[in-house]
Amino acid sequence: MTTLSERVSQSAFDGSRLRVVLLLDLHDGAQQRFLEAYEHLRNQVASVPGHLTDQLCQSIENPSQWLITSEWESAPPFLAWVNSEEHVKMVQPLHSCVRDTRSLRFSVLRETSNTAALASEPLKGRLQASPRVGDGVVRHALTFTVKPGSEEQVAEILAGYTSPEARVDDTTRLVRTSLFMHKNRVVRAVEVQGDLVAALRHVAQQPEIREVEEAINPYLEQDRDLNDPNSARVFFTRAALPAVHHVAAGRQESADVRRHALFYPAKEGCGMALARLLAQQDELAADDPASPISGSTVFQRDDIVVRLIDLRVPLESDPALVLGVHGNRKADVLRRLLDTDEAGGLSNDRELAHFLARSDMDLITDRRAPQS
């Protein structure tokens, strides 16, 4: 039983400016090569829509430690770029120089600036209006596809793994892992208390997890070699499915809450707009004391949109509300953002129920770590 004193919320859609901090540890002797690669790339980055500024810094204490900070008009243009195939290819020349990286993203809440400088060149984008309340949990997902016809074998392999030790270190622990499939697409959502990167590395190093990953390798549509660091890095970069919105109502969670994952087949180029629509609807649901939705997380990358919801009622009890289209004409908006060949019609309750049934992903496993 968990009691929340306040509503928990995180969002990439509040419209505030975004500060991105990238910490890098370079291989010995790779500093000049890294600088040359960065010089080659920075003009390309500067031309990305929504990008405001970039700084490359080197530690005055340890020349192997570098820092790249960038500022963006808001989170959506940054996420669209950093999750793109263009970005994957653009940063490839840097990988051979870097021993370790860590990326941090922050909404700008307050700032102190030179008044005269601001008058001559005001900053674009607005500040985050007020601080959000968190629950100390970082949410992330991975998604990939397997070869058609192999779904049953893959589901059996993924359902049979041994859970790794929940405790990573003194400040980080695994909280929950939920794994779903929709046709030949796998989605693995993780909740981590503490450092997400440390937790993912901890999991990857466990023999039982490595055994499962090796077992599904032959079934993957995208080849990978886990013994090749570059191959593994590219695979997991492409598989990343970031959480762009999360909200949980500030009330006691009951024991009968069930977790579902819904897959929304977005029309080409409409993934971000679809994720924003679902986020807005979930915010409204969280404000309603009678809402059966205990919490929701929207994951989005390009046109892949997955919504994880914790429900107090059966899934089919209110299709419009569960789908995130409760209210006047919301189903019409959703229909315009979906690939209609896959989604079908959404003009009445029967069609909404049919779409909900088809978008409900198959639960393979949902494991919570024991309370410490």
Pinpoint the alpha helices (H) of 180-254: 196-204, 207-216, 229-239
Instruction: Round to whole Å and give the CA distance between 178 and 175.
Output: 10
**pLDDT for position 252:** 58
Buried b (16+ CB within 10 A) or exposed e, 138-172: bbbbbbbebeeebbeebbebbeebebbebebeeeb
pLDDT at 256: 82
Rounded Cα–Cα distance for residues 244 and 299 (Å): 6
Q: What does the block give as tokens for 103?
A: 């990326």
Question: Tens digits of per-residue pLDDT, 246-275?
Answer: 999 865 566 689 999 999 999 999 999 999
Alpha carbon distance, N-terminus to C-terminus of the chain: 14
Beta bridge partners of 65: 25
Instruction: Tell me the pLDDT tens digit for each residue of 184-216.
Output: 999 999 999 998 888 888 888 888 888 999 999
- The number of beta carbons lying within 10 Å of the beta carbon of residue 46 is 12
Phi then psi dihedrals of residue 295, to 5 deg: -170, 160
Strands of 159-312, DSSP E: 173-182, 185-193, 240-248, 258-265, 293-301, 304-311
Q: What is the pLDDT of residue 346?
A: 87
Please report the pLDDT score of residue 119 as a whole number.
Answer: 53
Query: How high is the pLDDT of residue 120?
Result: 52
Determine contact, residues 304/231, Cβ cutoff 8 Å: no
- 101 forms beta bridges with 24
What is the pLDDT at residue 3? 44
- Quick one: pLDDT at residue 250? 67
Around Cβ 197, how many Cβ atoms within 10 Å? 17
Burial of 45 (0-12, 13-18, 19+ CB in 10 A): middle
Q: Rounded to the nearest 5 degrees, what angle is found at the Cα of 185, between the Cα atoms of 182 and 186?
A: 95
pLDDT value at position 124? Answer: 64
Q: Which amino acid is at 244?
A: V
**pTM > 0.75:** yes
- Pairing relationship of beta strands 137-145 and 98-107 according to DSSP bridges: unpaired
List domains and CATH numbers for the chain: 18-108 (3.30.70.100), 135-364 (3.30.70.100)
Asked if residue 261 lies in contact with residue 16, where contact means CB atoms within 8 angstroms, the answer is no
Q: What is the mean pLDDT of each run of 10 residues along the chain (372 residues)?
A: 64 94 94 91 90 94 95 94 89 89 92 62 70 89 97 95 86 94 97 89 86 94 88 88 91 76 96 96 88 94 96 91 87 91 82 93 92 62
